Amino acid sequence: MGNESPHHTAFKKIGIDLLKEEYGFRPEQIFEEYNVEVKENGTIKYKIDLVGISETYKIAVECGDTQLSKLSRLRKIFNEVMVINVTKVVELYEVYRRKYLMLKEESSREIERLKAHAEWVCQDANSKIEPLKNTIEELKRENANTKAALKKLQGVLAQAWKASQEEQS
């Protein structure tokens, strides 16, 4: 990136990000200051600011102002030719701003959906817990009654045992 203007450097950074994020190129598939030759009435040599090359797709990226003749010739050897300049940056800004707003809206809807689901889960759990509380209370009462009945039976058995011991003596 050497002696480039700050704008050119920024455009290249945007180009690299686009090649990675939007086109899926890995860093080793992205080349800067790439030299090509176009055969048209002889050989014309060009240096391209950025190139993304995979097994199935080739894209050239020019940063800043570029001659139309260069772009039309590059289109003959690349699947796509992109120019990143102020106009493109403004266009990308609008695209990403809309994506951001759309994602923000989707996130808000998802948060509301999750809140509603959590509320439903709580209500559902509460509706199941209340009958369980009642059942537990009922079981506690039955347990207390059973203990009282058992204590009474133990008393009766103790008296019967005492009486049988007295009869045998």
With CA atoms as reference, report the closest residue to 75 among 108, 109, 36.
36
Q: What domains are defined for the chain?
A: 6-84 (3.40.1350.10)
pLDDT, mean of residues 62-78:
90
Tens-place pLDDT, residues 109-150: 888 888 888 888 888 888 888 888 888 888 888 888 888 888
| Percent with pLDDT over 90 in the chain | 31
pLDDT of residue 32: 94
With CA atoms as reference, report the closest residue to 63 among 77, 45, 47, 49.
49
pLDDT of residue 64: 87
Tokens of 26: 């890995």
Helices then strands (H, E): number in the chain?
3, 4
Residues 6+ apart with CB under 8 A from 83: 61, 62, 63, 66, 71
pLDDT at residue 51 greater than cutoff 90: yes
With CA atoms as reference, report the closest residue to 47 among 12, 85, 10.
12
